[in-house]
């Protein structure tokens, strides 16, 4: 058969000519491919915003609960055990006199030192 | 002979090892369009020559590009050339199509034979006629030989690139292209003068 160098060269010449005659892609097909590329572009990852909202919402609940609890406790203490507390009194020389909050507790000793 | 491989090599360089694909995955539509303009002509040329049918070639190019967009978010830059990956997907799709033809839907003899008589194809000594003759002869080659010859001698891929695309060894590529060239020369043997090379030239 053919290991003739001339035939090799001739075939290579055919290849070379053919490389310059690549099948042309139609503009319509090219446009379709570009449109598909744009349509298929990956969507950006969704931003996680619900979690912080939920956190702040929960924090609000806890804050409200804490405040309500403290208020209720204050009211209960004030009405249920008024005798347990002494009062802050304003003396004539505008100094504040702090007396024991709880009977029996030596609160004054805290300030002696 | 180690020829220059302009088309595939240039495109691969321009793509900077997948940088465009990564940009596309990050939402850059221009990068996607650029990739289409770089890759699709090469893929279309390859598919047309291997399948011998423009409509089928468009189908497989479209399918290859869609697969590329799908894997874009997972593309690991630097591990492979996008063009090699695309050619590999394309080669597999072409092989599937050629197998389907053999599966009874199309008579393989009809596919393997040149679409026109080789002698009539080269009666007129024009470049177009030579091109027709070469492509007709290409269609007579077994599928794998045709793929290897097209990649090596028309698409400008190197033997190692072809090995990666066809998932075979470099020696197998050399064997396929050598047998393919011999078969091409045999198919064109009766038309030396028409093709511009005669025994006295």
Query: Chain centroid to CA B67: how far?
Result: 18
Helix (H) or strand (E) holding B39: helix B29-51
Bridge partners for A90 per DSSP = A96
What 8-state DSSP symbol labels residue A93?
A: T
B5 & B102 share domain = yes
Range of the domain at B140: 113-201
**pLDDT at residue A30 is higher than 80:** yes
Contacts of B153 in chain A (CB under 8 A): 12, 15, 19
B196·A25 Cβ contact <8 A: no
Assess whether B100 and B139 both reside in one domain. no
Name every residue whose Cβ is closer than 8 Å to that of residue B176 and which is 6 or more positions away in sequence.
B144, B145, B147, B148, B149, B168
Q: Tell me the three state secondary structure of residue A97.
A: strand
CB B7 within 8 A of CB B21: no
What is the average pLDDT value for chain B, to the nearest integer? 80
Q: Between residues B109 and A30, which one has the greater pLDDT? A: A30
pLDDT at A84: 55
Residue B113 three-state SS: coil
Average pLDDT for B177-192: 86
- Same domain? B138 vs B75: no
In A1-113, alpha helices (H)? 5-19, 27-39, 50-80, 109-112
Q: Could you tell me the maximum CA-CA distance found in chain A, to the nearest angstrom?
A: 130
For residues B98 and B149, state if they share a domain. no
B107 vs B81: which has the higher pLDDT? B81
Q: Is A89 strand, coil or helix?
A: strand
Query: Which secondary structure element, helix H or strand E, spans residue A90, and what is its range?
Result: strand A89-90
> Are A37 and B184 inside 8 Å of each other by CB?
no
Using DSSP's 3-state secondary structure scheme, residue B196 falls into: coil
Nearest residue on chain B to A3, judged by CA atoms? B182
The answer to whether the beta carbons of residues B185 and A15 sit under 8 Å apart is no
Are B57 and B135 found together in one domain? no
Residues B119 and B147 in one domain: yes
State whether B78 and B14 are in the same domain.
yes
Residue-level pLDDT at B122: 45
Tell whether B128 and B157 lie within a shared domain.
Answer: yes
Using the 3D structure, point to which of B70, B85, B106 is the last residue of a domain: B106
Please state, in angstroms and rounded to a whole number, the distance separating the CA atoms of residues B4 and A105.
100
Question: Is the pLDDT confidence value at B193 over 80?
Answer: no
ipTM of the complex, rounded to two decimals: 0.73
DSSP at A94: S
Please tell me whether residues B117 and B101 are part of one structural domain: no
Q: Is A38 in contact with B62 (Cβ distance < 8 A)?
A: no
- In this structure, the answer to whether residues B101 and B152 fall within a common structural domain is no
Q: How far is Cα B21 from Cα B30, in angstroms, rounded to an integer?
A: 11
Q: Is residue A113 predicted with pLDDT exceeding 80?
A: no
CB proximity under 8 Å: B 154-183 to A: 154, 156, 181-182
CB-CB neighbours of B8 under 10 Å:
22
* A68 burial type by CB count under 10 A (0-12 exposed, 13-18 middle, 19+ buried): exposed
- Boundary (domain end) residue, out of B106, B133, B153: B106
Picking from A6, A30, A40, the nearest residue to B69 by CB comes out as A40
Q: Are residues B7 and B72 in the same domain?
A: yes
CATH number at residue B20: 1.10.1740.10
Tokens 């204050």 label which residue?
Answer: A74
Same domain membership, residue B102 and residue B117 = no
Q: Averaged over B127-139, what is the pLDDT? A: 83
**Across the interface, do A23 and B48 touch by the CB < 8 Å criterion?**
yes
pLDDT above 60 for B113: no
Q: Where a domain ends, among B106, B136, B151?
A: B106
> Which region among A42-46, B16-20, B52-56 has the lowest average model confidence (pLDDT)?
A42-46
Residue B62 · residue B93 · CB < 8 Å: no
The CATH number that applies at residue B146 is 1.10.10.10
Q: Does A45 touch chain B (CB under 8 A)?
A: no
Tell me how close the Cα of A68 comes to any Cα of chain B, in angstroms: 49
- How many domains is chain B built from? 2
Task: Report how far residue B45's alpha carbon sits from residue B50's, in angstroms, rounded to the nearest whole number.
Answer: 9
């Amino acid at each position: 058969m053919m290991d003739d160098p001339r035939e090799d060269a001739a075939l290579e010449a055919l290849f070379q000519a053919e490389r310059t005659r690549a099948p042309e892609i139609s503009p319509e097909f090219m446009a379709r491919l570009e449109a598909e590329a744009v349509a298929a572009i990956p969507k950006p990852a969704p931003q996680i915003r619900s979690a912080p909202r939920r956190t702040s919402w929960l924090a609000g609940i806890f804050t409200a609960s804490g405040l309500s609890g403290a208020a209720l406790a204050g009211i209960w203490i004030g009405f249920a055990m008024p005798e347990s507390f002494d009062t802050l009194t304003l003396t004539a020389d505008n100094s504040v006199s702090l007396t024991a909050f709880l009977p029996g507790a030596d609160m004054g000793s805290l300030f002696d030192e | 002979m180690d020829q220059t491989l302009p088309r595939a090599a240039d495109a691969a360089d321009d793509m900077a090892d997948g940088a465009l694909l990564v940009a596309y995955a990050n939402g850059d539509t221009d990068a996607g369009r650029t990739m289409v303009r770089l890759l699709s002509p090469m893929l279309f040329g390859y598919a047309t020559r291997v399948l011998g049918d423009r409509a089928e070639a468009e189908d497989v190019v479209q399918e290859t590009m869609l697969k590329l967009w799908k894997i874009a978010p997972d593309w690991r830059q630097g591990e492979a050339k996008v063009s090699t990956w695309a050619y590999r997907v394309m080669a597999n799709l072409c092989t599937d199509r050629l197998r389907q033809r053999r599966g009874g839907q199309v008579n393989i003899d009809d596919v393997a034979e040149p679409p026109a008589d080789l002698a009539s194809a080269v009666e007129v000594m024009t470049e177009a006629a030579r091109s027709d003759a070469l492509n007709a002869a290409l269609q007579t080659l077994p599928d794998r030989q045709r793929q290897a010859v097209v990649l090596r001698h028309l698409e400008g891929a190197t033997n190692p690139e072809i090995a990666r695309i066809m998932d075979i060894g470099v020696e197998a590529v050399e064997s396929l292209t050598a047998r393919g060239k011999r078969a091409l020369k045999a198919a064109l043997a009766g038309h030396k003068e028409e093709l511009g090379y005669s025994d006295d030239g």
